[in-house]
Every structure is written in structure tokens, then in C-alpha cells.
């Protein structure tokens, strides 16, 4: 009942192989094989410091790997840097980039001059929808407003690949809802592959069709969201007095919590196999429930979660 | 990957226009102040010319260009701060995320910054000259000495190039300034201590023969100071330093 860390198939919009990166003595990535299928929405989940931002930066050649390789849209970020960056809409982790002195309208025009495919009409529509204060200097905007500006900058040239680093960070609930619906409409309208790095999975739950779980520079899980929600289930079972929990094998068990005589497990595996495994150990399964993507991510990020043999 | 039409990269012209607009916008306030000063000085000069006429026995040469070398050197030292004002340290942010070869992009920014600096320096020189003209010369007698223009422009350029080397290499403007001052001091010490005459003369001869070949003006030796002549050596060295810094630090692949 191994948790998958590799996707099968072909037609990757983005793929890394054994990607490694250290900053001095701090290891950010320990050889990850990230694969994002074409036109999918892939959510890369992990706590702060997991290595998510580093992985994203390598794709734009904003950071250089120590080992391994990366490829996006069939291009090497180092060899084909400018050509590849023309295909990417990028939202960085920082809410405010440079050019804080520019009014938002001027910043949009400046950015547009670098992207011949920029659609001014679409940019205007997005700006209106996201209520951008076009005449205010970019540097004087609130975090949320600045983030919305970055979203227009990333979408208006209709890139085939969107790379978003914590895109909803700093947004209030209403702005978050609007932003996510703008993104959902964009994805529906244009053939786009999206890689979103976040530690707030629930926000992107409706969009995501693939998820990768990164912790301490190791990719602990990588699968479709369907597979994750089908294979990682919560089992509530009643156990007899004096029951020896050690009878349940560790394989696939991510979390365990006791409530009186009831014990709850989160286990990766086929439901039938897990039920029989628990039954053989003397536990009577009362309920099996699906996890939300957020709960699944938390379970996979737990110290017991994921494979450690990468 | 399925076949799909890829988004095009920006043209060189579009990038150059965007960068020129950016650099001038960044310096807009400074340029407006400078333009106002230039207008006032030229206005005063014209007014003086009309009202008072030229001073008797005026020399016919513009006397103050060389005196502008020091202020223009300071301008050149500070200029990169304005050129890079809007970008994050080391350009590892927005600037680097744009779809342009980074060496080309950075060179273009440095080059456009220099062009604007030269334009501004010429304006300052023109304004300063204009404000002194009525007392020394009739407009129709004006003679332009290339050497006089060369020295302040070369000083400003050298200062700009030295700071730009560090701006391209390091993230902190404080560091750029400190290293640039150390660099200038180093050049001064080397220039004073070393016997560069042979080298300078060699470069000078080459430049002069190039001037002759293209039909340009020949600069009389005596009209150029020692420092002015040494710039012929320092400028290519500094430019080579800048080029190396660009090639190394902003390597795309």
C-alpha cells in the first residue's frame, strides 16, 4: 500500500527528474520527480520551507538546480529561457514586485510590451472584474490589491502555462472567491496547464485535478485528486477492551487517533483490503469516510505520511 | 506535448522602447528639474546677449566644460541608482522573469542608461556654456573644441560604467557605491603611479588614425589633459569589466 510519488502516462506539460537544490547547508529539494500533465491543474502542497517556491523558481530559471533536470512545455528552462518565459504566467510568492512607483495602468502597459500576445481587451475586462485601482501606484496598494494586479499580469497574455506561488495569499475571502472564479473561467476558456503552490489546499480544492505533497524537499505523494480521495480514507472502528493496536500493520497508515474504545485511522489503500486488515486485527469498522483534499494533504504531510525512500 | 502555437517573444525594438521609456520615466523628476534649469540658463544667456553684448576681448572658446568634469563624474556615479531604481536587487525578480535574454536585457538597460546620461550631460554642458557665453563670445565666433567635450563626457561615462559593473554584480546599492569609490581610488592611484604614457600614446594614435579615416576632427595633443588621455585606456578596461560582469552574472544558460 505504497503511496504513489510518480504519475504514469505521458504528455507532461512540466516534468522534473531528480531535481536537487541547496542553499548553503539548507537543502531545499532532495531529488524530486514532479510531473504535471498537460492542461491539468496541479496543486503542490507543503508547509512553509518545504521547497515549493524553489521548485517553481527553477522552472523560470530564477534559481539554478544543483542536480537533476527540469522541462516545461518541452523546453529546458536554462537553454530556452526567454522562449519558455514567454509561455508562462507567473505569480511570485512576494505580493509586491518591482516598479512600485508605477500606476497600475502603466505597469500593465509596460508588462504588455514584453508579451506580443497580450490581449488588452481581456486585461481591461479582468482589471474591471478584479476592481483594480488603475491610477494608484502599484507600491501603494494593499497586499490583496497587489496580488490581483499580479493575476492580471499573469493571465492577460493567455500563456499555456500558469505558475502560481501562493496565489491567494493576502486576499480577503471575497477577493479570494472572485480570484478563484476568474481563474476557473480562464482555465475553462483557454487550454492552460496550471501549477499552483500553496499551503491552503481547501482554497484550490474545486480547481485541482492533481496534487503533489512536498515536505522537507521530498515529494511524499503525487497523484490525481480522484485517486487520493479514493485511496486515502478515514476508518472509524470499535475495538475490544485491552486491544493491542500493534496488531494493525503500519503500512499505509498515516494517522491514528483514539476516542475511548473507538479508534480512527487514515489509511492509504483499497477499502476492501484495509477493512479486512483491520478486521483481522480485531477492530470492527463502523464507518468509512472520504477526506477532503485539505484533510488528505494534512495526513500525507504528517510525520508518518508518505514514503521516505525517494 | 501536444502541438500548440507558442506565444511569440517580444521584438528587440519593443524591448528597447520599453526600456527607454522606463529609464526616462524613472528619471522624470530629475530630468524636469534639469530641463527647467537649462531653460532658465539659456534664457538668461540670450537676454544677456541682447542687453549687454559680448565682453570686449572674449577668447572665443567656451571656458567651463573641463570644470564640469567633477560634477558630471558625481552624476555618473549616482546615475545607476536611478537606472536600476525600480528593480529588485540582482534582478532576480520581475526583471528576470520577463521573456528576454537576460544578458541582452541587462546590457540594454545599462546602455540606455548611458545614452540618457550622455544626453543629460550634454544638456548640462550646453546650459552651463550658454550661461557664460554673453561675457566671453559672440555666438557667431563660437569654436567647439572636441577635447573639452571629451573630458567631462568621458569622466561621467567612466564613473557610470564602474558603478554599473557593481550594479550588475551585487544586490546592495550601498555596496555598489563603496566598491565604486574603491575602484575610482584604485584607478587614480594606478594612474598616478604607473607610467602609462606608452600605452596611452599607442591608444591615442589608434584613435586618431580612426578619426582621420572617418574624416573626424583631429584633437591637438596639448588641448587634452593627462587624465583626458588616460581615459582612452581606462574606458575600454572598464567596459571590458562591465562586459565580463554581464556575461558571468547574467548568464542565461
**CA-based Rg of chain A, rounded to a whole angstrom?**
22
The ipTM (two decimal places) reads 0.85
Residues of chain B in contact with residue A84, where contact means CB-CB under 8 angstroms, are: 99
Q: Give the 3-state DSSP-derived string for chain B, with helices as H, strands as E and coil as C.
A: CCCCCCCCCCCHHHHHHHHHHHHHHHCHHHHHHHHHHHHHHHHHHHHHHHHCCCCCCCCCECCCCHHHHHHHHHHHHHHHHHHCCCCCHHHCCHHHHCCCCHHHHHHHHHHHHHHHHHHHHHHHHHHHHHHHHHHHCCHHHCECCHHHHHHHHHHHHHHHHHHHHHHHHCCCHHHHHHHHHHHHHHHHHHHHHCCCHHHHHHHHHHHHHHHHHCCCCCCCHHHCCHHHHHHHHHHHHHHHHHHHHHHHHCCCC
Tell me which chain B residues have a C-beta less than 8 angstroms from the C-beta of A109: none
Q: Which residues contact A54 (CB under 8 A, 6 or more apart)?
A: A21, A28, A29, A63
Distances (CA, A) of B16 to A26, A108, A268, B92, B168: 39, 17, 56, 20, 18
What integer pLDDT is reported at residue A309 of this predicted model? 39
Question: β-strand A210-215 against A218-224: which pairing, if any?
Answer: antiparallel
Checking if the pLDDT of B18 tops 70, the result is yes
Using a CB-CB distance cutoff of 8 angstroms, which residues of chain B are in contact with residue A75? none
Residues of A in contact with B99 (CB under 8 A): 82-86, 114-115
| Polymer length in residues for chain B | 253
Binary contact (B97, A60; C-beta < 8 A): yes
| Residue with cell string 497574455 | A157
Among B4, B92, B97, B106, which would you mutate to test the A interface (most chain A Cβ atoms within 10 Å of its Cβ)? B97
CA B22/CA A99 separation, integer angstroms: 10
First and final CA of chain A: distance in angstroms? 16
Output helix, strand, coil percentages for chain A, rounded to the nearest 5. 30, 30, 40
pLDDT at B108 over 60: yes
Cβ contact, residue pair A98, B102, below 8 Å:
no
- pLDDT at res. A88: 96
At B195 the pLDDT is 67
Are B100 and A82 an interchain contact pair (Cβ–Cβ within 8 Å)? yes
Whole domain around residue B110: which residue ranges? 11-47+57-251
Flag whether pLDDT at B94 surpasses 60.
yes
On chain B, the residues whose CB falls within 8 A of the CB of A69 are none
Q: Give the angle subtended at the CA of B14 by the CAs of B12 and B20, to the nearest 5°.
A: 100
3-state secondary structure of A216: coil
Residues 6+ apart with CB under 8 A from B154: B228, B231, B235
Q: What is the pLDDT of residue B85?
A: 82
Domain-embedded: residue B88? yes
Report the alpha-carbon distance of residue A87 to residue B1 in Å, rounded. Answer: 14
What average pLDDT does the segment B111-121 reach? Answer: 93
- The HSE-up count of residue B224 (CA atoms within 13 Å, CB side) is 22
Instruction: Give me the half-sphere count of Cα atoms (radius 13 Å) on the Cβ side of residue A229.
Output: 13
Contact A4, A221 (CB under 8 A): yes
In angstroms, rounded to a whole number, what is the distance separating the alpha carbons of residues B61 and B68?
15
Q: What is the pLDDT of residue B62?
A: 55
Question: What does chain A come to in residues?
Answer: 310
Q: Report yes or no: A60 at the B interface, CB cutoff 8 Å.
A: yes
Confidence at B161, pLDDT banded by 50, 70, 90: very high
C-alpha cell at position B26: 524613472
Cβ separation of A12 and B252 shorter than 8 Å? Answer: no
Q: Which residue in the set A83, A99, A113 is minimally distant from B14, CB to CB?
A: A113
Out of B7, B21, B86, whose CB is closest to A115?
B7
pLDDT in tens, chain A (310 residues): 688 888 888 789 999 999 999 999 999 999 999 999 999 999 999 988 889 999 999 998 989 999 999 999 999 998 999 999 999 999 998 877 778 889 999 999 999 999 999 999 999 999 999 999 999 999 999 988 999 999 999 999 999 999 999 998 878 888 888 889 999 999 999 989 999 999 888 888 889 999 999 999 999 999 999 999 999 999 998 888 777 766 677 777 787 888 777 888 898 988 998 888 888 888 888 999 999 999 999 999 887 665 443 3
CB distance A211 to A42 below 8 Å:
yes
Contact assessment for residue A159 and residue A143, using Cβ atoms and an 8 Å cutoff: no
Nearest-by-CA chain A residue for B105: A82
Confidence of residue B131 (pLDDT cuts 50, 70, 90): low
Q: Do B87 and A98 touch (CB under 8 A)?
A: yes
* pLDDT score at A305: 61
Residue B199 lies in a domain: yes
Contacts of B10 in chain A (CB under 8 A): 86, 113-116
Domains of chain A from N-terminus onward: 12-223 (3.40.50.300), 227-306 (3.30.70)
Task: Name the domain count of chain B.
Answer: 1
pLDDT tens sequence across B165-205: 999 888 888 888 899 888 888 877 877 777 666 666 766 67
With a cut of 80, say whether residue B4 has pLDDT above it: no
Q: Which of A198, A129, A119, A130 is nearest to A164 (CA)?
A: A198
- Comparing CA positions, the residue from B204, B187, B179, B195 lying closest to residue B238 is B187
Q: Is residue B123 part of a domain?
A: yes
Inter-residue contact A219 to A31 (CB < 8 Å): no
Q: How far is B90 from chain A (nearest CA, A)?
A: 11
Measured between beta carbons, which residues in chain B are less than 8 angstroms from residue A114?
Answer: 10, 14-15, 18, 98-100
Residues of A with Cβ-Cβ distance to B18 under 8 angstroms = 110, 113-114
**Per-residue pLDDT, A221:** 93
pLDDT at B61 > cutoff 60: no
Contact B9 A110 (CB under 8 A): no
Is pLDDT above 80 for B2?
A: no
Nearest Cα residue in chain A from B26:
A101
Minimum distance, in Å, between the CA of residue B5 and any CA atom of chain A = 9
Q: Which residue has the higher pLDDT, B27 or A116?
A: A116
Q: A86, B8: Cβ pair inside 8 Å? A: yes
Q: Which of A93-97, A243-247, B26-30, B71-75 has the least mean pLDDT?
A: A243-247
- Cα–Cα distance for residue pair B86/B18, rounded to 1 Å: 14
- Count CB pairs under 8 A between chains A and B: 101
For chain B, the average pLDDT equals 78
The residue of B4, B9, B26, B109 whose CB has the most chain A CBs within 10 angstroms, and thus the best one to mutate to test that interface, is B9
- Residue B2 counted as domain residue: no
Amino acid at each position: 500500500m505504497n503511496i504513489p510519488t510518480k504519475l504514469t502516462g505521458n504528455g507532461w506539460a512540466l516534468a522534473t527528474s531528480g531535481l536537487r537544490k541547496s542553499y548553503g547547508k539548507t537543502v531545499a529539494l532532495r531529488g524530486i520527480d514532479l510531473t504535471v500533465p498537460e492542461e491539468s491543474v496541479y496543486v503542490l502542497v507543503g508547509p512553509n520551507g518545504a521547497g515549493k517556491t524553489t521548485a517553481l523558481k527553477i522552472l523560470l530559471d530564477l534559481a539554478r538546480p544543483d542536480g537533476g533536470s527540469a522541462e516545461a512545455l518541452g523546453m529546458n528552462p536554462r537553454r530556452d529561457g526567454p522562449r519558455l518565459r514567454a509561455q508562462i504566467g507567473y505569480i511570485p510568492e512576494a505580493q509586491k514586485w518591482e516598479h512600485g512607483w508605477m500606476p497600475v495602468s502603466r505597469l500593465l502597459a509596460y508588462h504588455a510590451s514584453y508579451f506580443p500576445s497580450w490581449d488588452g481587451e481581456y486585461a481591461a475586462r479582468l482589471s474591471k472584474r478584479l476592481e483594480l485601482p488603475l491610477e494608484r501606484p502599484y507600491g501603494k496598494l494593499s497586499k490583496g490589491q497587489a496580488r490581483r494586479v499580479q493575476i492580471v499580469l499573469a493571465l492577460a497574455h493567455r500563456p499555456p502555462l500558469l505558475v502560481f506561488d501562493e496565489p491567494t495569499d493576502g486576499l480577503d475571502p471575497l477577493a479570494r472567491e472572485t480570484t478563484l472564479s476568474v481563474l476557473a473561467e480562464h482555465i475553462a476558456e483557454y487550454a492552460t496547464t496550471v501549477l499552483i503552490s500553496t499551503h491552503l489546499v481547501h482554497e484550490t480544492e474545486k480547481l485541482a485535478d492533481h496534487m503533489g505533497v512536498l515536505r522537507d524537499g521530498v515529494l511524499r505523494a503525487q497523484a490525481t485528486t480522484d485517486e487520493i480521495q479514493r485511496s486515502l480514507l478515514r476508518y472509524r472502528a470499535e475495538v475490544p477492551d485491552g486491544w493491542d493496536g500493534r496488531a494493525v500493520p503500519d503500512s499505509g497508515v498515516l494517522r491514528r487517533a483514539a476516542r475511548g474504545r473507538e479508534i480512527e485511522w487514515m489509511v492509504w489503500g483499497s477499502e476492501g483490503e484495509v477493512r479486512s486488515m483491520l478486521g483481522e486485527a480485531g477492530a470492527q469498522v463502523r464507518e468509512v469516510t472520504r477526506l477532503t483534499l485539505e484533510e488528505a494533504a494534512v495526513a500525507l504531510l504528517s510525520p508518518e505520511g508518505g514514503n521516505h525512500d525517494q | 506535448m501536444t502541438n500548440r502555437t507558442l506565444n511569440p517573444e517580444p521584438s528587440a525594438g519593443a524591448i528597447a522602447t520599453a526600456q527607454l521609456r522606463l529609464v526616462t520615466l524613472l528619471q522624470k523628476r530629475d530630468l524636469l528639474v534639469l530641463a527647467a534649469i537649462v531653460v532658465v540658463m539659456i534664457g538668461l544667456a540670450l537676454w544677456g546677449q541682447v542687453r549687454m553684448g559680448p565682453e570686449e576681448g572674449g577668447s572665443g572658446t567656451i571656458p567651463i566644460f573641463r570644470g564640469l568634469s567633477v560634477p558630471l563624474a558625481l552624476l555618473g556615479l549616482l546615475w545607476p541608482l536611478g537606472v536600476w531604481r525600480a528593480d529588485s536587487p540582482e534582478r532576480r525578480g520581475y526583471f528576470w522573469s520577463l521573456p528576454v535574454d537576460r544578458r541582452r536585457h541587462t546590457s540594454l538597460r545599462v546602455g540606455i542608461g548611458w545614452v540618457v546620461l550622455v544626453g543629460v550631460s550634454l544638456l548640462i554642458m550646453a546650459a552651463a556654456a550658454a550661461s557664460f557665453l554673453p561675457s566671453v563670445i559672440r555666438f557667431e565666433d563660437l569654436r567647439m573644441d572636441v577635447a573639452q567635450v571629451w573630458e567631462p563626457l568621458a569622466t561621467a561615462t567612466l564613473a557610470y560604467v564602474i558603478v554599473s559593473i557593481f550594479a550588475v554584480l551585487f544586490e546592495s546599492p550601498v555596496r555598489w557605491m563603496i566598491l565604486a569609490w574603491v575602484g575610482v581610488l584604485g584607478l587614480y592611484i594606478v594612474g598616478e603611479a604607473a607610467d602609462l604614457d606608452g600605452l596611452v600614446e599607442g591608444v591615442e594614435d589608434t584613435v586618431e588614425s580612426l578619426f582621420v579615416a572617418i574624416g573626424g576632427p583631429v584633437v591637438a595633443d596639448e588641448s587634452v589633459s593627462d587624465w583626458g588621455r588616460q581615459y582612452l585606456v581606462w574606458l575600454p578596461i572598464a567596459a571590458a569589466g562591465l562586459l565580463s560582469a554581464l556575461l558571468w552574472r547574467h548568464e542565461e544558460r
